[in-house]
Structure 1
């Protein structure tokens, strides 16, 4: 029996509908949470190897806000983009087209890898009144406090890409390796919450289409960071960062804030790269306060 979802009761109070949109010649699956007549709509983009479920705990604490959450191409229920390399240009173009089709004028939110995609899309022409980045990738991955782990991850994905297809796919979906990734990122000491986090990763971390898409996305995730786009972001921006993040140290997040023309930084203590699972209430509170400010300007 899977562990209890600590945010399940709140989520059950929020209406949700599944939809599909034709984007760049492919089909994108997405979910819309909250009232259809809400004053504010947020378009939320999940992180690497994840899917829309990962951001649901944050949505649980955003009642009254309409949130549109797609599965990225090649992940969850969204097939890969036809005849495309899944690099940053492709993901940014996809997000821009998806926003135009389903949530024009929405506030854009990106988590982790989604922060890179969101920032690239906004500076590339995606129109939005504001940008929210949760656990933003604010520095090259190899500069993080666990650069050795990043090098091991690069080796892991490289080997998987070079093995015969079946063997490479099995390596990428190996449950023991997925659990190591989950245990490395989790910071909470709450046993029930850790069990929930691990179950989420066990359930959703291997729902990628194939190893080629996953390799493309991984290369993109370690080849770019938000710094290269920050100076060109011309809308108010909220950075929600973790003080124990192993991917981007908090010192780098503080530096990242200074690169934006108009940005604020909210730091959450005692959590790492899993703000969306471990401290979603704190993230949602920061988001609500930010949205209240930018919608009254």
Structure 2
């Protein structure tokens, strides 16, 4: 039985519509939250890019605290309801090119927002010429995944995804979708002590973490996620950038996020305490508040 979202009431007040776009010879599924401003009002538009193994649902808690903002949230190729791009390796070149084409097709000049793996994709696309007035990165990957105090865990993940790719297809896919391993990943990332919120987070990962198209796409995306980080692109991103970082992030330590912020020509760093790599689930109100200030929008009504 699905676990009720603590953000459902807020999200239910925001209209949402599923749409599709033809991007790079394939169909991208995306969701539009909020209205199009057809009554003449200026409505800010943000395109969001979710993290590794996730899909658009993951960023809905943040969307729930952004009333008055038009949010366009696609599933990455090979995840959720978006099929892989035919005949292409799903590497950083593919994902950044896909995002650039998607933005040009659906919402030119929208603000670009990426979480975790999405931060790498967004940074690469903007550095490569994607036009945007502002860039927002939540839990940005600001250091090499194979370095630092969590490097051993990352190497174990490399082994896990390599086995999933090399074993016979059925066995490899079962390993990659194993619910016990998914739950262990979820427990490792969650920092909240709120039992209801923990149940919601685990249910989200149980429901959506295995909605990848096939093991080849998943392996490509994983290799991309551990082979790149935002530092490679920061110096050439010439638009105002907001970094929303967690002080207990096991993927990128806060010290590395502080260094990352200094690499951008124009960046603001907002740190959130007592949370790890799941800002979007555990502290979406704080993240949305930072986004609203960055976009110079009024504070969302409290309830």
Superposition TM-score tier, normalisation by shorter sequence: over 0.9
Asked if residue 109 in structure 1 is aligned to residue 113 in structure 2, the reply is: yes
Gaps of 5+ in 2: 298-303
Deviation at 1:145, TM superposition (A): 3.3
Aligned equivalents of 1:161 and 1:70: distance in 2? 26
1:67 aligns with 2:107: no
Matched with 1:15 is 15
Structure 1 residue 3, shift from structure 2 partner: 1.8
Q: Which residue is equivalent to 2:55?
A: 51
Aligned equivalents of 2:148 and 2:78: distance in 1?
A: 27
Deviations 1:102-143 (A, max 9, x none): 111100000000000000000111100000000000000122
* Structure 1 residue 149 displacement after superposition: 1.2
Q: CA deviation at 1:39?
A: 2.2
1:126 has 2:130 as partner? yes
Residues 166-190 of structure 1: CA deviation (Å, up to 9, x unaligned)? 0000000000000000000000000
- Is 1:167 aligned to 2:174, yes or no? no
Of 197, 204, 211, the match for 2:208: 204
Moved over 6 A (4+): none
Secondary structure of 2:121's match? helix
For the Cα contact (< 8 Å) 1:145–1:248, is it kept in 2?
Answer: no
What is aligned with 2:301?
A: none
Aligned to 1:89: 93
Cα offset, 1:4, TM superposition: 1.5
**SS state at 1:141 partner:** coil
Contact 1:23 1:98 in 2 (8 A): yes
Cα deviation, 1:142-171, whole Å, max 9, x if unaligned, reads 224322211110000011111000000000
2:258 match? 254
Q: For residue 216 of structure 1, report the CA deviation from its aligned partner.
A: 0.1
2:236: which partner in 1?
A: 232
The reply on whether 1:280 has 2:269 as its aligned counterpart is no
| TM value normalised by structure 1 | 0.98
**2:141 aligned residue (132, 137, 142):** 137
Paired residue for 2:27?
27
Supply the distance in 2 between the matched residues of 1:89 and 1:3 (Cα, whole angstroms): 37
CA RMSD in angstroms comes to 0.8
Looking at structure 2, the residues matched to 24 and 205 of structure 1 have their Cα atoms a distance apart, in angstroms, of 25
- Rounded to whole Å, the distance in 1 between the matches of 2:148 and 2:53 is 19
CA–CA distance in structure 1, aligned partners of residues 296 and 85 of structure 2: 36
**Alignment gaps of 5+ in structure 1:** none
Structure 2 length-normalised TM: 0.96
